[in-house]
Amino acid sequence: MTNTALIQAKERAAAHSTADQLGVTEAAAAHIQRTMAEQPDALGLRVGVTKSGCSGFGYVMDFAQSIEPNDLAFIAKTASGEELLIVCDEASFPVIKGATLDYVVNGLSRLLQFNNPNVVDSCGCGESFTIKEEDATHA
């Protein structure tokens, strides 16, 4: 990856309104940074969506190893000032714009969870979701 690719991806992300930027909670940032420490080639977190399940979309997450020509690169800042690079492809962005990623601990379960303002319904198992009609036309 070149610095130019990252700079261009950040510029594409910055063109979107502040309300549409992707966010991360303190807990999610800490968890992702701990996990990234074990991935020396990771630039940040890659998030996206895929057509999936009974409700339409499912989230996909992995470590960003490179920046692709259609990527947006967001610098998510936590309340304490921690920064995390979040990479999202342009096709997924309309579905997850404005979302905040959280790390949730519930008993023995631990998971990264999206708080997505675009979701209007999800399936019973929680694996897939439906978004607002106007956002669905862009995905």
The pTM of the full predicted model, rounded to 2 decimals, is 0.87
Report the SS3 class of residue 129.
strand
pLDDT tens readout for residues 90-136: 999 999 999 999 999 999 999 999 999 999 988 777 678 889 875 55
pLDDT of residue 52: 81
Q: Tell me the pLDDT of the chain averaged across its residues.
A: 89
pLDDT of residue 134: 59
DSSP codes joined into one string, 16-56: S-GGGS-EE-HHHHHHHHHHHTT-TT--EEEEEEEEETTTE
Residue 123, phi then psi, degrees to nearest 5: -75, 165
Does the pLDDT value for residue 40 go beyond 60?
yes
Write down the CATH number for the domain with range 3-136: 2.60.300.12
Percent of the chain with pLDDT over 90: 73
Cα atoms in the Cβ-side hemisphere of radius 13 Å centred on 27: 11
